[in-house]
């Protein structure tokens, strides 16, 4: 198992992996449809999308956490 001190890194890695996978597939299919060689085209797009998504998630995560803290009611008590 992975040491808990790496949980934040694991979270951002997995979030970038899954989101870039889904988004690159959807956008590739939307733009060019089911054509011959689609898998290789999508995998290339996924690799690029992941390379962008991972640092972006690490940059925006603290901002998103702050926004959520502002927008969510604090429990009374």
Q: For 43-59, what is each residue's pLDDT tens digit?
A: 999 999 999 999 999 99
The DSSP letter of residue 1 is -
- 0.85 exceeded by the pTM? no
DSSP code string of 19-51: HHHHHHHHHHHHHH-S-TTHHHHHHHHHHHHHH
Structural domain boundaries in the chain: 7-71
Q: Which two tokens stand for residue 72?
A: 């969510």
pLDDT tens track, the chain, 77 positions: 999 999 999 999 999 999 999 999 999 999 999 999 999 999 999 999 999 999 999 999 999 999 999 999 888 86
Q: Determine the pLDDT at residue 67.
A: 97
């Amino acid at each position: 198992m992975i040491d808990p001190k790496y949980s934040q890194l694991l979270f951002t890695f997995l979030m970038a992996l899954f989101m870039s996978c889904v988004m690159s597939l959807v956008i590739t299919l939307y733009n060019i449809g089911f054509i011959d060689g689609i898998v290789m085209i999508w995998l290339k797009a996924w690799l690029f999308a992941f390379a962008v998504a991972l640092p972006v998630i690490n940059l925006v995560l603290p901002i998103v956490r702050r926004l959520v803290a502002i927008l969510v009611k604090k429990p009374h008590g």
